[in-house]
């Protein structure tokens, strides 16, 4: 990336003012590369995960259990962004938290690389914890590179950063997936560890270009708060240890003793957080009204992510067993499907940005509510499309790869309609008291959606059956229709937010 660093006339005092990264503070290059390598390791491992879980040479689990494990894992990554943000704000500061997170993620991938089912789940837990710590804090550091919200380069900086995410996500299945499926599952997981190691090394070297306040703990814990937090953590850890010791020694332990509590946590915690904010007496009438509107968006987003994230589990497992994974006679690993979404995001995101701007100039840009509802309808449509390859497979034939590509394409267009709008509306509708926490609340919609998928799988629901797929598709389309039908009511609740 050195060739893209040029002399700049940035304002004095701006981090990295001597040189820039595509016209942005040089620290953005450090964070761009850190996030790219972290996403490379994360998406590479995620592409292999469901395939390894069902493979005879892997853990050889049934599809339902594999989907439940995958869904619980993804829901935990997003659930842990809230405590991850808390550690950055109260304990270590963003920079130190990201450095520690990178080390934890690397250790997790190395643990996954060990040829033992006993260490496998410990590795998954470490990657989830590290990802939660990193995800919440690295975006904060991107914002700290600029002179406040009004810096004209700020939005562009986040766009460049977002490209790093998708570059890593695109390359990972092609490299890690190929090695994992063709050579060795554990070598694939080891490559993910190497990717995170590269990201961590360049982060530590380039951290001198970050904003000084990234090392500051914004609201450090007092001595009394530290003691109280440690005491509560020790009590809960002790209760869990005693409970699982009793279950284990009594001979009743199964994987569901872990999966069920974690999936329930993924549904209960988001509900509790929303209820707590909604019932807060400190919120004025306008803020209460906006939160009522936001709950509509949150529930709709949970339905969206419930279907969308099955692209990495249900669709991947289907492709492994029932698809003709070749184009014009050229075969490719199943994990390569996971590169379709990021390459489409990189290709289509600029088109969408231009399209909304063009419509806005004509006064015809759709409202936030219409975009959101359309995203839901499209993710539902993607599962109606899924019914075709399912029917082909039930007839004893292999479904063509292009069916799956069409499903991923439809989901990606839906994501581009819903995800950026969801992030934007979250920041706009956040009550002043919860301004810094609301992004974590948005991520909880992903947690709730994936936890619901996990609960269905644990309950024995076969997510690759036409009836269930049709039901999920119908639910998403109806949710999108409901958002559109009640758009006037929601718009009224949103107040001055558009």
Query: For the ranges 166-175, 267-276, 278-287, 333-342, which has the lowest average pLDDT?
Result: 278-287
Residue-level pLDDT at 494: 62
CA angle 45, 46, 51 (to 5 degrees): 95
Res 450: pLDDT: 96
Whole-number pLDDT of residue 126: 96
Residue 324 has pLDDT above 50, yes or no: yes
Q: Mean pLDDT throughout 476-480?
A: 93
Write out the H or E segment, with its range, that includes residue 328.
none
Would the pLDDT of 167 be above 90? yes
Q: How confident is the model over 468-496, as a mean pLDDT?
A: 83
Better pLDDT: 152 or 372: 372
Measured between alpha carbons, how far is 303 from 199 in angstroms, rounded to an integer?
A: 33
Closest by alpha carbon to 122, among 108, 134, 110, 104? 108
pLDDT (0 to 100) of residue 185: 95
% of the chain surpassing 90 pLDDT: 63
Q: Got the DSSP string for 134-166?
A: HHHHHHHHHHHTSSSTT-TTHHHHHHHHHHHHH
pLDDT in tens, 344-383: 999 998 898 888 889 889 988 888 888 889 999 999 999 9
The pLDDT tens digits for 211-227 are: 998 999 988 999 899 99
Q: What tokens does 328 get? A: 């014009």
Residue 436's pLDDT is: 65
Give pLDDT, residue 147: 81
Q: Please tell me which residue, 300 or 368, carries the higher pLDDT value.
A: 300
Distant-in-sequence contacts of 471-475, Cβ < 8 A, 24+ apart: 472/306, 472/307, 472/380, 472/383, 473/307, 473/380, 473/381, 473/382, 473/383, 473/384, 473/386, 473/387, 474/380, 475/303, 475/380
Q: Does residue 135 register a pLDDT over 60?
A: yes
Q: If you average pLDDT over every residue of the chain, what do you get?
A: 89
pLDDT at position 53: 95
Rounded to 5 degrees, what are φ and ψ at 275?
-65, -45
Count other C-beta atoms under 10 Å from residue 182's C-beta. 11
Count of Cβ atoms closer than 10 Å to residue 21 Cβ: 25
Q: What pLDDT sits at residue 287? A: 87
The predicted model scores a pTM of 0.89
pLDDT attached to residue 449: 95
Q: What is the mean pLDDT of residues 99-105?
A: 97
> What per-residue confidence (pLDDT) applies to 3?
36
Q: Supply the pLDDT for residue 18.
A: 53
pLDDT at 148 over 90: no
**How confident is the model over 184-219, as pLDDT tens digits?**
999 999 999 999 999 999 999 999 999 998 999 988
Q: How confident is the model at residue 392 (pLDDT cuts 50, 70, 90)?
A: very high
Give helix 94-112 / helix 185-206 axis angle, nearest 10°: 160
Question: Model confidence over 233-283: pLDDT tens digits?
Answer: 999 999 999 999 999 898 888 888 999 999 999 999 999 999 999 888 888
Q: Is the pLDDT of residue 7 over 50?
A: no
> Would you say the C-alpha torsion 331, 334, 339, 345 has a positive or negative sign?
positive
pLDDT at 96 over 60: yes
Under 8 Å between Cβ of 287 and 497: no
Tell me the mean pLDDT in the region 133-157.
82
Grade residue 498 by pLDDT with cuts at 50, 70 and 90.
Answer: low
Find tokens 């560890």 and name the residue. 193
CA atoms within 13 A on the CB side of 392: 18
Proportion of the chain above pLDDT 70, given as a percent: 93
Tokens of 453: 């998928």
Range of weakest confidence among 15-29, 413-427, 484-498:
484-498
In which band, very low, low, confident or very high, does the pLDDT at 5 lie, cut at 50, 70 and 90?
very low
Q: Compute φ and ψ for 400, nearest 5 degrees.
A: -70, 145
Give 62's DSSP letter. Answer: -
Q: What is the mean pLDDT of residues 25-53?
A: 94
For residue 11, what pLDDT is reported? 43
Q: How confident is the model at residue 1 (pLDDT cuts 50, 70, 90)?
A: very low
Residue 174 contacts residue 67 (beta carbons within 8 Å): no
How far apart CA 214 and CA 141 sit, in angstroms, is 6
Among residues 237, 38, 224, the alpha carbon closest in space to that of 137 is found at 38
In this structure, is the dihedral angle defined by the CA atoms of residues 15, 19, 23 and 29, taken in order, positive or negative? negative
pLDDT of residue 428: 77
Of the listed ranges 123-137, 228-242, 306-320, 477-491, the one predicted with least confidence: 477-491
Whether the predicted pLDDT of 9 surpasses 70: no
What DSSP state is assigned to residue 220? P
CA distance 8 to 345: 30
Report how far apart, in Å, the C-alpha atoms of 54 and of each of 58, 67, 264, 316, 393 are.
7, 10, 24, 11, 18
Neighbour order of strands in the sheet with 19-21: 5-7, 19-21, 24-25
CA-angle at 122, arms to 180 and 135, nearest 5°:
80
Nearest Cα to 375, choosing from 497, 488, 484, 464?
Answer: 484
pLDDT tens digits, one per residue of 410-436:
999 999 999 888 877 777 788 878 876
Task: List the structure tokens of 130.
Answer: 């590290």
Element (H, E) at 396: none
In the chain, the N- to C-terminal Cα span, in Å, equals 38
**Do 177 and 192 contact (CB within 8 A), yes or no?**
no
């Amino acid at each position: 990336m050195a060739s893209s660093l040029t002399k700049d006339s940035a304002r004095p005092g701006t981090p990295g003012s001597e040189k820039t990264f595509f016209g942005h503070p040089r620290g953005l290059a450090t964070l761009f590369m850190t996030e790219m390598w972290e996403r490379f390791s994360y998406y590479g491992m995620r592409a292999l995960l469901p395939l390894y879980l069902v493979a005879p040479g892997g853990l050889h689990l049934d599809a339902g259990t594999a989907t439940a494990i995958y869904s619980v894992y993804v829901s935990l990554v997003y659930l842990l962004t809230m405590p991850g943000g808390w550690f950055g704000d109260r304990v270590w500061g963003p920079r130190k938290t990201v450095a520690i997170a990178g080390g934890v993620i690397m250790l997790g991938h190395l643990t996954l690389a060990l040829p033992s089912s006993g260490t496998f789940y410990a590795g998954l837990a470490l990657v989830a914890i590290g990802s939660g710590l990193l995800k919440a804090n690295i975006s904060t550091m991107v914002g700290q590179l600029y002179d406040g919200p009004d810096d004209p380069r700020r939005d562009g900086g986040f766009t460049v950063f977002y490209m790093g995410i998708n570059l890593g996500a695109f390359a990972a299945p092609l490299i890690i997936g190929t090695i994992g499926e063709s050579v060795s599952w554990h070598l694939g997981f080891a490559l993910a560890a190497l990717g995170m190691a590269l990201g961590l090394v360049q982060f530590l070297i380039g951290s001198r270009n970050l904003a000084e306040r990234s090392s500051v703990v914004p609201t450090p814990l007092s001595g009394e708060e530290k003691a109280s937090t440690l005491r509560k953590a020790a009590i809960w850890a002790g209760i869990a240890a005693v409970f699982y010791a009793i279950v284990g020694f009594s001979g009743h332990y199964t994987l569901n003793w872990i999966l069920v509590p974690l999936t329930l946590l993924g549904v209960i915690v988001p509900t509790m957080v929303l209820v707590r904010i909604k019932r807060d007496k400190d919120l004025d009438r306008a803020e209460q009204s906006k939160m009522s509107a936001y709950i509509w968006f949150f529930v709709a987003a949970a339905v969206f992510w419930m279907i969308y994230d099955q692209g990495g589990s249900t669709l991947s497992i289907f492709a492994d067993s029932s698809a003709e994974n070749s184009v014009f006679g050229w075969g490719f690993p199943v994990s390569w499907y996971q590169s379709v979404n990021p390459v489409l995001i990189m290709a289509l995101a600029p088109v969408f940005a231009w399209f909304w701007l063009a419509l806005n100039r004509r006064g015809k840009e759709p409202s936030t509510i219409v975009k959101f509802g359309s995203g839901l309808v499209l993710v539902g449509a993607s599962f109606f499309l899924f019914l075709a390859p399912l029917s082909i497979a039930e007839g004893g034939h292999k479904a063509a790869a292009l069916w799956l590509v069409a499903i991923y394409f439809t989901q990606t267009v839906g994501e581009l309609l819903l995800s950026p709008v969801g992030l934007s509306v979250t920041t706009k509708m956040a009550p002043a008291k919860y301004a810094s926490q609301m992004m974590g609340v948005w991520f909880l919609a992903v947690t709730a959606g994936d936890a619901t998928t996990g609960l269905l799988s644990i309950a024995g629901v076969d997510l690759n059956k036409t009836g269930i797929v049709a039901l999920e598709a119908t639910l998403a389309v109806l949710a999108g229709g409901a958002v559109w039908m009640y758009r006037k009511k929601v718009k009224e609740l949103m107040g001055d937010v558009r």
